[in-house]
């Protein structure tokens, strides 16, 4: 039994299969983790999603910005009432995934699979954390897991639509003010005893409906979380996230910007390992032994990479077909 982690597949199904063949991946005994962006830009999103669906008991895929973008397009499309505006919406869409998925018999299954994917993954035994973009310099792993869980709750709830409509915003780029606001609200003594509070304890597993209690604050929290976990590359010296620069770190000319992993994070320990994708310009060069960059740009004619989490230093790769 082995557990592998693969970088951003981006619908490059042929390379995906070639790489699993290379390590003789056995879906009966092995496990597969992915760094997200399983679709987006690449040629075979349907085949890729069908494979993930087929072996969903053996695969955990954290969500990437392209995966979320597909969910957003799906939501906006579903909200349209008449055929003409639906058609127009699809026509104007740059990404082709939604068009393909709605023509599939199991298209809704694919969407519901993505809505149930996690934002983060944590393996206690290996002290190993995975997210699409990495770990915010304002967070420890627990913060990332906890706030990621808030996003996961919304994705699966009746608040899905409001999250989709608001999520791609650059405004929520710093955690500290959101954290202060949360602490401020939760410090209010009457909170725990109020009828209002009890009314919203409507999840069986004891997770409160924060979205009904504090809609704008909960949205801010979740948008920051999506920004940090799926869009982050560089951060400014005040730790705010940048959303524009996709350069290689060495080619970046802006002195106020450093890669997220270059800011000292006292809460992140050397014994912990982070695996992330998203940043193809890093070309898979690990920033540190325990910070592993796994997106090697298969969809940009680079390669697709995979590691065995027992021995993350060794990489397996296949070159892009095109």
CB of 295 to Mn ion, least distance (A): 7
CB-closest chain residue to Mn ion: 278
CB of 196 to Mn ion, least distance (A): 39
Sign of CA dihedral 204, 208, 212, 215: negative
Quick one: 65 or 252, whose CB is closer to Mn ion? 65
Quick one: 69 or 153, whose CB is closer to Mn ion? 69
Residues pairing with 34 in the sheet: 6, 61
Quick one: 217 or 245, whose CB is closer to Mn ion? 245
Quick one: 27 or 302, whose CB is closer to Mn ion? 302
Quick one: 65 or 120, whose CB is closer to Mn ion? 65
CB 208 within 8 A of CB 198: no
CB of 9 to Mn ion, least distance (A): 11
Q: Which long-range contacts (CB under 8 A, 24 or more apart) does 81-88 make?
A: none
* Residue 283 CB partners (closer than 8 Å, separation 6+): 248, 296, 297, 302
Which of 117, 109, 119 minimizes the C-alpha distance to 54?
109
CB of 83 to Mn ion, least distance (A): 32
Quick one: 267 or 286, whose CB is closer to Mn ion? 286
CB of 38 to Mn ion, least distance (A): 10
**Which parts of this chain interact with Mn ion (CB under 5 A)?**
37, 64-65, 278
* Residue 164 CB partners (closer than 8 Å, separation 6+): 71, 72, 75, 76
For every residue of 119-149, DSSP letters joined together read S-EEETTTTEEE-SS---TT--HHHHHHHHH
Pairing of strands 273-276, 291-293: parallel
Q: What is the dihedral of CA 131, 135, 141, 145, to 10 degrees?
A: -50
Quick one: 115 or 278, whose CB is closer to Mn ion? 278
CB 155 within 8 A of CB 149: no
CB of 95 to Mn ion, least distance (A): 13
CB atoms within 10 A of CB 188: 9
CB of 33 to Mn ion, least distance (A): 16
């Amino acid at each position: 039994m082995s557990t592998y982690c693969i970088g951003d597949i981006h619908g490059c199904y042929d390379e995906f299969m070639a790489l699993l063949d290379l390590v003789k991946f056995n879906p009966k005994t092995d496990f597969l983790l992915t760094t997200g962006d399983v679709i987006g830009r690449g040629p075979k999103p349907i085949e890729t999603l069908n494979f993930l669906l087929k072996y969903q008991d053996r695969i955990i895929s954290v969500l990437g910005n392209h995966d979320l973008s597909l969910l957003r397009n799906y939501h906006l499309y579903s909200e349209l009432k008449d055929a003409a505006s639906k058609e127009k919406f699809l026509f104007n869409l740059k990404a082709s995934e939604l068009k393909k998925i709605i023509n599939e018999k199991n298209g809704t299954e694919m969407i519901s699979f993505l809505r149930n994917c996690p934002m983060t993954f944590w393996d206690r035994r290996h002290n190993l954390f995975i997210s699409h973009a990495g770990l915010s310099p304002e967070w420890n792993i627990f913060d990332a897991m906890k706030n990621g869980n808030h996003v996961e709750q919304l994705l699966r709830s009746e608040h899905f639509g409001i999250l989709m409509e608001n999520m791609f915003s650059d405004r929520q780029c710093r955690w500290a003010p959101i954290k202060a606001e949360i602490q401020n609200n939760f410090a209010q003594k009457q909170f725990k005893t109020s009828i209002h509070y009890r009314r919203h304890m409507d999840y069986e597993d004891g997770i409160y409906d924060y979205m009904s209690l504090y809609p704008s604050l909960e949205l801010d929290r979740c948008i920051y979380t999506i920004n940090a976990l799926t869009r982050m590359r560089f951060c400014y010296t005040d730790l705010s996230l940048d959303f524009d620069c996709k350069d290689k770190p060495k080619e970046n000319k802006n002195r106020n910007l450093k890669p997220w992993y270059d800011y000292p994070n006292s809460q992140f320990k050397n014994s912990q390992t982070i695996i992330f994708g998203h940043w193809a310009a890093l070309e898979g060069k690990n920033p540190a032994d325990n910070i592993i960059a796994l997106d090697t740009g298969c969809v940009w004619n680079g390669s697709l990479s995979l590691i065995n989490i027992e021995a993350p230093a060794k990489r397996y790769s296949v070159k892009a077909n095109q």
